[in-house]
Amino acid sequence: MVERVPPRSAQPRSRLRVLLASGAAALALAAGSIVPGVPLGAAPQQAQAADGGKSTLTVAVAQSVDSLSPFLAQKLMSTSISRLMYDFLTNYDPKDNHAVPGLATKWEPSADKLTWTYTIRSDSKWSDGQQATAEDAAWTFNKMMTDEGAAQANGNFVANFKKVTAPSPTQLVIELKQPQATMAALDVPIVPKHVWEKVGDFSKFNNDKTFPIVGNGPFILTDYKVDQYVKLKANKDFWRGKPKFDELVFKTYKDQDAAVAALRKGEVSFVAGSPALTPAQAASLKGEKNVKVNEGPGRRFFALATNPGAQTKDGKKFGNGNKALLDQKVRQALFLSIDRKTIIDKVFQGHAVEGQGYIPPRFSAYHWQPTAEQSLAYDPAKAAELLDEAGYELKGDQRVGKDGKPLDLRILCHATDPNDKAIGKYLKEWWGKLGIGLKVDCLDDVSVPWYAGEYDLAFDGWSVNPDPDFVLGIHTCAALPAKAKDSASTDNFICDKKYDELYKKQLAEYDPAKRAEIVNQMQSWLYDSGYMNVIAYPNAVEAYRTDQIKSITTMPEAAGNIYGQDGYWSWWSAAPASGGSSDGSGGSNSTGVVIGIIVVVVVLAGGGLFIAMRRRNTADDRE
């Protein structure tokens, strides 16, 4: 037997070469799989662009989707997608928020205002070809009324419903127990009965298994990958008209700087800040060619919630909120020592409006301002006085209660929100001057201690709808959890008889002026209570590429926001600029390749250096 034996002298070198070659191959593979990770999502997009010249609108978002089921979705990202997938009975006009036709073309109350009749349009079809009818709407509402699992997200709208029927395919009749003012603003996605009646447990079903998802909104959801992307395609048969972009992709960028860099390179057409672009990012993007920074009054309020003593519906206390906060004087003292103007100037750098009432000034019909004497403006001296009155006297540099314990508070902050942390720093100093200790607890997921009532104060914020019913409803006793530590729709465990009565009254009031008057009384009560201290109304600061998006509707149309509107206006109306996004994804692919090549070269060079050094080392050893 003859074995081929390589010449001895060549052996080490060839082994080295094999090693190098295999290393390079492995690196190339690794680079191929890792580096173009982002453009990988763009690849199928590009393929489509090649076969039919499809235009794609890519939106960088930071929030995750909590559920694609409209019965469970509560995050802004998910409810915005619900609006694109399913038509609502009515919609808000982008100009002035008045109710305009959606799936319903007409709506009328009876004389006693307890029976509402909706005329359902006959030109809306589900994406599987079936007609959308009043029967679908009736089934959706009935499901929410009978199945607690289906009432999780929007249960407040149907709590007062007595009976919902569909006498004919174009007629929906809702009978109420008591008059309800939100009947033209039912923010409930209507789902196809023939698909959803097969669903078993609504509290577990996330609607993310079979694609495309049957819907009748302006877009149809075609694909979804957790924390990667949500893909939608235009619904050609949408009754209001086909959207101008063929495809809409929400791509997840957990890092806002990465999203801004992607916008600069043209990989994404739009960046929705989380919750807004930082002032530095906005300023640097303003000078960029082909990028427009859009700033509008926000829908959100940013508030400081104080734990009023967590309790269940039947009054069982739980949690460990600081007892000192049960005193209204202490709560007001805390708020009196916050200089909101400084926060607007320094933290938001002017990209926000100073907080007053509960509902942002954007919704002028319901915005309320405190009167001069009830206003809690920045006044540390008065705050110190109130604390003295409440029995927390200054000993040394600490406020000490009657029980001899120093007044030390905790505040829950979202680790993902830089504003929370920044304001936390200010609060620590302001309250420190008063003698109050503060510990800033920043967590990725605040919901665990929150639901358990284990907090003293918390940074809080909600997006407000044109109809304020939802954000008012989360402070009623009815929203409290049934069992301790259960998730519930309550925001901050507030439960007050007077507030509840006002809440019922406003819901039953059909006259807008009178209803606004009651809503104002509620806001006044909230303000005085010190449970919800609104610090600011942050503006929406977002940016898009003008060489990819020619025009897009803001809401309100004059100067408003684009992402997270009360409707589908922005994405439905967005028009592609010529030579749109296919350039962008092509560019991203090539940059991916370039980065890959650079990485391979750098690693090879490093490897060569390493081997050279080792050689020298062994040479040293020999000496």
Task: Please report, as ranges, the residues that interact with other proteins according to CB under 8 A.
Answer: 255-257, 260-261, 264, 277-281, 283-284, 342, 346-347, 349, 413, 415, 418, 421-422, 424-426, 428-430, 440-442, 617, 620-621
SS (H, E, C) 572-604: HHCEECCCCHHHHHHHHHHHHHHHHHHHHHHHH
Cβ closest to other proteins, residue 256 vs residue 476: 256
Q: Least CB distance from residue 534 to other proteins, whole Å?
A: 21
Q: Least CB distance from residue 260 to other proteins, whole Å?
A: 4
Q: Least CB distance from residue 397 to other proteins, whole Å?
A: 15
Cβ closest to other proteins, residue 432 vs residue 608: 432
Cβ closest to other proteins, residue 422 vs residue 603: 422
Q: Least CB distance from residue 261 to other proteins, whole Å?
A: 6
Q: Least CB distance from residue 415 to other proteins, whole Å?
A: 5
Cβ closest to other proteins, residue 351 vs residue 362: 351
Cβ closest to other proteins, residue 22 vs residue 617: 617
70: closest CA among 189, 220, 226?
Answer: 189
In 137-228, beta strands by DSSP E = 161-168, 171-176, 219-225
Q: Least CB distance from residue 408 to other proteins, whole Å?
A: 13
Cβ closest to other proteins, residue 149 vs residue 380: 380
For residues 343 and 347, give the distance between their C-alpha atoms in angstroms, rounded to a whole number: 5
Residue 63 to residues 67, 313, 343, 359, 536, Cα–Cα distance (Å): 12, 31, 25, 23, 21
Cβ closest to other proteins, residue 92 vs residue 430: 430
Cβ closest to other proteins, residue 300 vs residue 410: 410
Cβ closest to other proteins, residue 66 vs residue 441: 441
B/e letters for 420-434, b = 16+ CB within 10 Å, e = fewer, are bbebbeebbebbeeb
Q: Least CB distance from residue 404 to other proteins, whole Å?
A: 24
Token pair listed for 455 = 């907090």
Q: Least CB distance from residue 284 to other proteins, whole Å?
A: 4
Q: What is the DSSP letter of 457?
A: E
360 burial type by CB count under 10 A (0-12 exposed, 13-18 middle, 19+ buried): buried
Q: DSSP characters for 270-321?
A: EEE-SSS--HHHHHHHHTSTTEEEEEE--SEEEEEEE----B-TT--B-S--
Q: Least CB distance from residue 580 to other proteins, whole Å?
A: 23
For residues 34 and 358, give the distance between their C-alpha atoms in angstroms, rounded to a whole number: 47
For residues 353 and 221, give the distance between their C-alpha atoms in angstroms, rounded to a whole number: 36
Q: In whole angstroms, what separates CA 468 from the centre of its chain?
A: 18
Q: Least CB distance from residue 208 to other proteins, whole Å?
A: 28
Q: How many CA atoms lie within 13 A of 199 on its CB side?
A: 24
Token pair listed for 294 = 């859009």
Q: What is the DSSP letter of 344?
A: I
Helix, strand, or coil (residue 175): strand
Q: Least CB distance from residue 348 to other proteins, whole Å?
A: 10
Q: Least CB distance from residue 64 to other proteins, whole Å?
A: 17
Cβ closest to other proteins, residue 233 vs residue 340: 340
513 contacts 263 by C-beta, under 8 angstroms = no
Cβ closest to other proteins, residue 142 vs residue 281: 281
Helix, strand, or coil (residue 72): coil
The alpha carbons of the chain give a radius of gyration, in whole angstroms, of 29
SS (H, E, C) 495-550: CCHHHHHHHHHHHHCCCHHHHHHHHHHHHHHHHHHCCEEEEEEECEEEEEECCCEE
Q: Least CB distance from residue 294 to other proteins, whole Å?
A: 17
| Rounded to 5°, angle at Cα 54 from 51 and 60 | 125
Cβ closest to other proteins, residue 185 vs residue 540: 540
118 contacts 106 by C-beta, under 8 angstroms = yes
Cβ closest to other proteins, residue 6 vs residue 287: 287
Q: Least CB distance from residue 621 to other proteins, whole Å?
A: 8
The owner of tokens 């009935």 is: 142
For residues 337 and 533, give the distance between their C-alpha atoms in angstroms, rounded to a whole number: 12
Q: Least CB distance from residue 584 to other proteins, whole Å?
A: 17
555 contacts 569 by C-beta, under 8 angstroms = yes
399 contacts 405 by C-beta, under 8 angstroms = no
Q: Least CB distance from residue 252 to other proteins, whole Å?
A: 17
In angstroms, the first-to-last Cα distance of the chain is 42
B/e letters for 396-419, b = 16+ CB within 10 Å, e = fewer, are eebbbbeeeeebebbbbbbebbeb
- In sequence order, what are the residues at sequence separation of 6 or more whose Cβ sits closer than 8 angstroms to the Cβ of residue 234? 218, 219, 220, 242, 243, 245, 246, 247, 248
Residue 623 to residues 12, 613, 616, 620, Cα–Cα distance (Å): 21, 15, 11, 5
Cβ closest to other proteins, residue 135 vs residue 454: 454
